[in-house]
Structure 1
Amino acid sequence: MLVDKPESVNRVPSLYCRKQAPDLPAWIMYDKNILRFQAFFQQTILEYRTTDHILRKVDIFFFLEDGTIKVMEPKTQNSGLSQGVLISRQRIRLPFSYDLYYDVLDLNIGREVTFFGKVFKIVNCDNFTRVFLNRLGINVPHPINWPDAVERTPDTRKPPKHRPFRQFLDFDRQVLRFHGYWDDRESEFGTIHLLEIHYFLADDTIEIKEELPPNSGMEAGPMFLKRMRIPRKIPPRIEMTGGPKVTSYTPADLSIGAVINVYGRNVVLTDCDPFTKEYYRVTYGFDAFTPLPLPNDGGKECISASMAERQLPPWNGYGSYDDSAENCRTVEPKAPHRDFMKFLHKDRVGFDSHILRFAARLISDDPVDAQRYFIIKYFLCDDTIGIFELGERNSGFKGGKFFRRDKMYLPDVKFFVPKEPPAYTDKDMWIGNELVINKHRFRLIAADEYALRYLETHSNEYPMANIPLIMDKIRRTLASKENGYKNFVAKYMEAVLPNKRELMSVRCFKQALKEIMCEKMSEHEFVSLIRYFRGDPGKEKSPRREMIRSLVFTELTRGLWDDRERLKEGLIHADVSRAGVLSAEQLRQTLRAHRLPINRDLMDCMLTVLEKDDKCNIVYNDLMSFLDFQTRPVFSLTEEDYMKVVRHAPPTKDIECKMWADAETLITDGYVNWNAFLCQLNLDHLVKEQS
């Protein structure tokens, strides 16, 4: 098959008998099938006296489709030889033959083949080649070990010479880096110089750079010592012109804590980089690389130490702290930079306003001031607080903006200082906490649904809404008292409802916790527990409806939409059966046809809170009452300018104040799942132990 002349004998054994295999051409049967052998050949070297020849490793590829052979030598970095393809792909004749070529039978481990006058010794092959030859019935011996790369015949009369070129090939671009210092404080105006020492393994040279911080007052040169060999001992000047060669520093002389003499300057090595540590660990077996501290400068700052922080003058009260600081740092001040990443994540996105709203009372000895209601808004995007007052009719207080949106600083701090004093953060916003803002003391009495849900969602950041931490506090308190848990359960066992033994009123639940916890629990923790173990979750539907209604009213007033009569006609026209209900898709199409200025997400939320029948069709009369401009939304959960936008709406009778008053007393209504609370406490084993 691989022979040119048809009359020659086929020397390749067949895998199958005659007429048992398809008679296909070789270039189809053996396409991309290549046998790979590993071999070497000797190359004579006349330039070196210490060796006669070198061994070069090659790969021999035999292409089964056409019987061609290619010889290639893998490339080695800095070998000094012309490597790569030694013999291009071609058919190679057998030595002393003009009509026969090398084929599969001539290549095997242990054989020597001659290609164009070079003798190659085959020592190994890959797995595919071994399996292929075995299937042909050819036995493949075990691999042969590689001989030594260089056979040396050293001269016994002289010691081996130092080979700088061999050292360069082995250690090129390998540098040991040390950190050290030179103590020059004994001289006048001397100081401690921090140095960086580089040792080049390729030629045993050393260069030293000095580390100077900016604005140090020292003139920085390019190098402390240029690259050269540093002698261990400085010889006399007479011996510099001749005599024996002076020994220089080697890697064995360098280590952490070593002192090298750099032409009269004692340089102490204090640390090294990871590559240097690995080199000494492998070469010398060192394992201890403890850095040395820098010497004390006797009360004076080291030149290479970090520069002291710049002290700005105290704040004069004009502008903000950041703005005043920029005016002090440069002649052309720049606008202060905010925390852009925090603004990007905590700015309003859809329905996530990232604004925590709390109801507050003014703590004052005056009974009139004690009855005033406030809304405190905390903006998470920039940690600012805005305070608004909800004025009651005939109270003497107009209401509206009480304090403009700004950072609110903690009480009893010094304001006229260089650094900005600490301010209130979102960790201070929880029900029951007291905030002192501009000498006014506010007590947070309630929070809206969004603030409570936000704190509960991020409970890992807010411990007042973290149920596992609260339960652990209660658990430790009951376990510390003798018969505490047993008496606690027995005392309030009869407080549950007679028809539903698992429910307990919120008022009794709060009283039970206050008796055992006293002042250890805050009001916000009570609210978190009641919301978590709520026994009547249906009460939470109404606040959500009012919140969505408030958002819808805001969008309608911004879009100047007030066409309820025409919308009602359109709904009646769409209701062909006059059943008073429409499907969600029909209602959505009708609202789009009348161009309500609300986005799709808000419209879908609005449709979910409307009244529905048994077939989930929406009662459009409930939609008309939902969009009634004569009744203002209960929740005030929009932006600060909401009061300005809806001035055309008729006034209401203290709806906002009533909402916050209801929120203040919300924790006293409803029921709590008592059994779920006791089950999560998991203190039944205390009853058995105490019994």
Structure 2
Amino acid sequence: MEACPGGASTTLTAWEPEEALPSLPGFRSNRHATGNKKQTMKYINRHMFLTEARHAVAARQSDLVASNSATSLALRSFGKATDAPSRRPQTSGSYFGGRVLCFYAYFKEAVQNSSIETCRVRRCELYYYVCDDSIQIVEPKLENSGVPQGNFMKRHRVPKPHGDEFFTLDDIEVGSAVELYGRTFYVYGCNASTRAFLTEHRGEPASDELPPIDRYEALREELTSRETGKNPRVSHNIQKNPMKVFAEAALGNTVDNSGRSGFLKYGTSVLRFYCYWDDSQSLYGDVQLFKLHYFLYDNTIEILTVHAPNSGRERSPLFLKRAKLPKQTTGFYHWTDLRVGGEIDVYARPVRLIDADRSTRAFYQKEAGVDLAPRLLPPVVAEVLPTTTTTTKTSHRAPLGSDGDSLTSSSSRDGSLARKARPRNSEAVLLRYRAEFAEPKHEDIGRVFVLLYDIADGTIQVREPPRRNSGIVGGNFLAKVELADAPLVGTSVIASGHAFKILDADEATLKFMEAHASEFPLSHFPTVRGLYADYAKARFHDDNCRAALAALLGPKTKLSFGEFENILANFVPPIGQRGPPKHAAITFWRAAGKDGALPADALLQIADP
């Protein structure tokens, strides 16, 4: 009670609203309620829905009661204000524990322009969530169905076609139809847990029914069963893995050994016949040649195609895949039915045998005591083969090109390069040399090349090692060109208009030439020593030859390669005057030299007879 000016008095009661109180500490809560709002309006399947909770009104009333209680407590307390707990009504989800009911249903989909079916039966599963009366439809995925399957209708409360009501559990019964968004679903069954739930709360549901058979699906299942081997009644003639047969036999399964007698008797022997098929009577037909292989251990036959040049046919290797060849009447062909000159029927194609190889003739002589007939000629060979031989007259060799180019130009009007075949007995050896330009220009001084000579085809190619800051890109300098003989060190080689001087050769090249001294005489040490002896005796005469060589040597007992070349220059003419090249000096040095030097006695021995 508080006195007011003028003698009036006023009293504060707990039931007055909070808005009537001033904003003083202790009279108003400092907690601010959140302003977030949940989305309630959605657009689902081209339809607008208001997703407000079923108990929204009751919840708002409960919140209002709790708010009034909290306000009353705030007015009567001077400490921290506390909110009263919300009392919302209990939902069916908390009562049933989130139970989900599963119903089996199907719907029919119209099919246009099909000779097999007019409508297609699509089976699906209908899930009903008891907690919030929502429905979800899932279509099981089938292999190669051609339609997108899976979640057919997502979970939500489905409205009825007329009115503002939603579908509930009372609208779904086994054996009835449910129309959802204009599509009729026929419920033909449910699972065991759903049946038990319905029996407990609503009564025994109707018994399950069988869905109608989809004709197209049945045809696809039959085709898939036959193609993939899932149907055990269809024979695919698939040979078992030998390990699987062994494992089954180890477990007690019987094994059919009827096909092994041929292997134990003949092993892997194969008979070969040559045959042909005369198809010249048909349009664009001709005579085709084949090879027939007969496998003795399992009595199977395969026929291979013999390709002729310019036949106009695809080069398919197989004419008949290896298998037992059936006769026109009954049974299969056996090796006793095959004879040279005989005819067999290969699936309505008459094939005549005209020859057999040597081992096949020996087999028939040993096993059956029969000599096969001599070789016969097919009609195409008898008509086409000439009776006389012709000779080709070649023209003289042209001034340009090789002998192969001249022969090619004589046999054809259009000039083309002759094909080069590598000799079978030739060695795949590359001789490597270091070379430079024989007459270099000013800008080419100092350029070094590597020459590769191929012994097999007599060609040479030139490469240039890359050098830094040279301004020249290294790599291939010249492609392969023909060269009659292998070059020697000290000689010159002309390739594609470029003259190269051979400076040196690698160790492998020198060893190869020494091993083939018959082809490279200047790599034979006795030949080179005799050659130097002839030059020395011709220069210093026979009587004074040793003394002249000793005078050239002086007090030296060992010579370097440069000193050895200087002494040779006194009695050996240069290469331009029919003298031996530097290659001969290298051969003499490699044979007589020791520890990187040439003994003086080795040079004096050339004067001895």
Range class of TM-score, shorter chain: 0.3 to 0.5
Instruction: Give the TM-score normalised by the residue count of structure 1.
Output: 0.30
If you compute each CA radius of gyration, which structure gives the higher value, 1 or 2? 2
The higher relative CO (CA closer than 8 Å, separation ≥ 6) is in 1
